[in-house]
Structures are given as structure tokens and as C-alpha cells.
């Protein structure tokens, strides 16, 4: 019997990419009947307490998910004991998380797209400074990762 998986998705601001990754994972886990916990956080603190970017909210809504109640928070060293897996959306996030990781961390840290066959080593590009279409690309990438993560976690239990 394995522990319930608890996944934390981490980007820079916690208002664009990681809330979408959290939403996509929650949806994929629910559809697969997988019991799992999910949360998201940012390495930066600019958007703590804020809801996701309106464009991220609209993207999630198009896929049937309401993320208006999510609130930004900053990742902390404690998260390395609260979660079983921490997924970084890009390489800068991964570097920042490695610097924050306590020596006795129990969470497994990885790059999100390393879980998607054919996209290993790739980053989920930041859509914040672009137009709305960037959010569709983000959704496609985080959804593929969510499906792959659910499949891996199911194979494990
Ligand atoms: P995210 O996008 O990391 O995908 O949430 C960003 C949101 C805000 C900022 C940077 C990235 N910012 O600099 O405020």
C-alpha cells in the first residue's frame, strides 16, 4: 500500500502555468478515479494571495474547470515534506527549487515535461507576456503531463 500521492506544481508567479497544471492534474486524476492531492505555488512572491491570471481562468473554464478560487502562494522548504512529488514547469523553477530543497527532503523533484514521452528536457513556456494563444499551448502541455503523471501513479499502486 503506497501513500496517497500529493503533487505540487511550481512556476514563477503561480498565476499562469502552475494553476493550469494543478487544474489539468485534478481533472485527469478525477477522470481516472485516482486518489491524489494537488496544489500549486510560485518561486516568486509577487502574486501571493491573488487569483490566477484572467486568461488562465478563461482557459481552464473552456475545459470545464473553475480555478477562480485558487490563490497564489510562494513555495517553501516545508513543501518538500508535505508533498510526494514537486514538478517544476521550467528550468529556472527547477534550479530555484534545487536551491531551496532541504537535505532531508522526501518529495521527488522533477521537470514537468520530463514525464511526457518526446518532450523530456523541455520547459512549459511562460505565456504571461504573450497573447491568449499562448495559454492554449500551456494547456496542451500541462494536460499531456497530467495524463502521463496519472498513468505513472496508477501503474505504481
Ligand atoms: P507564471 O507566469 O510563472 O506561469 O505564473 C508569470 C506570472 C507573473 C510573472 C511572471 C510569470 N510576473 O513577473 O509577475
CA-nearest residue for atom 7, ligand 1, is: 13
What angle do helix axes 54-62 and 133-156 make, rounded to 10 degrees?
60
> With a 6 A CB cut-off, is 11 part of the ligand 1 pocket?
yes
Cell of 51: 487569483
Mean pLDDT by 10 residues, the chain (157 residues): 86 98 98 98 98 98 97 98 98 98 98 98 96 95 98 90
End-to-end CA distance of the chain: 7
Instruction: Specify the ligand 1 atom closest to the Cα of 17.
Output: 4
> With a 6 A CB cut-off, is 72 part of the ligand 1 pocket?
no
CA of 15 to the centre of ligand 1 (A): 6
List of domains in the chain: 6-156 (3.40.50.2300)
Give yes or no: 16 in active site: no
Give yes or no: 126 in active site: yes
Is the distance from CB of 155 to CB of 76 less than 8 angstroms?
Answer: no
Is the distance from CB of 107 to CB of 136 less than 8 angstroms?
Answer: no
Of 16, 17, 26, 79, the active-site residue reads 17
Write down the H helix ranges in 1-132: 17-32, 54-62, 79-82, 91-100
Contacts of 95 (CB under 8 A, 6+ apart): none
CA of 156 to the centre of ligand 1 (A): 33
CA-nearest residue for atom 11, ligand 1, is: 13
Amino acid at each position: 500500500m503506497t501513500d496517497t500521492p500529493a503533487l505540487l506544481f511550481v512556476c514563477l508567479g503561480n498565476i499562469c502555468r502552475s494553476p493550469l497544471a494543478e487544474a489539468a492534474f485534478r481533472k485527469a486524476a478525477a477522470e481516472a478515479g485516482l486518489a491524489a492531492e494537488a496544489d500549486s505555488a510560485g518561486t516568486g512572491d509577487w502574486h501571493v494571495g491573488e487569483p490566477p491570471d484572467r486568461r488562465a481562468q478563461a482557459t481552464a473554464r473552456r475545459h470545464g474547470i473553475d480555478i477562480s478560487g485558487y490563490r497564489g502562494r510562494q513555495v517553501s522548504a516545508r513543501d518538500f515534506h508535505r508533498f510526494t512529488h514537486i514538478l517544476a514547469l521550467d528550468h529556472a523553477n527547477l534550479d530555484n527549487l534545487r536551491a531551496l530543497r532541504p537535505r532531508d527532503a522526501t518529495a521527488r523533484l522533477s521537470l514537468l515535461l520530463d514525464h511526457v514521452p518526446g518532450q523530456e528536457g523541455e520547459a512549459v513556456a511562460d505565456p504571461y507576456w504573450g497573447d491568449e494563444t499562448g495559454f492554449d499551448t500551456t494547456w496542451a502541455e500541462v494536460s499531456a503531463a497530467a495524463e502521463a503523471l496519472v498513468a505513472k501513479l496508477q501503474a505504481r499502486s
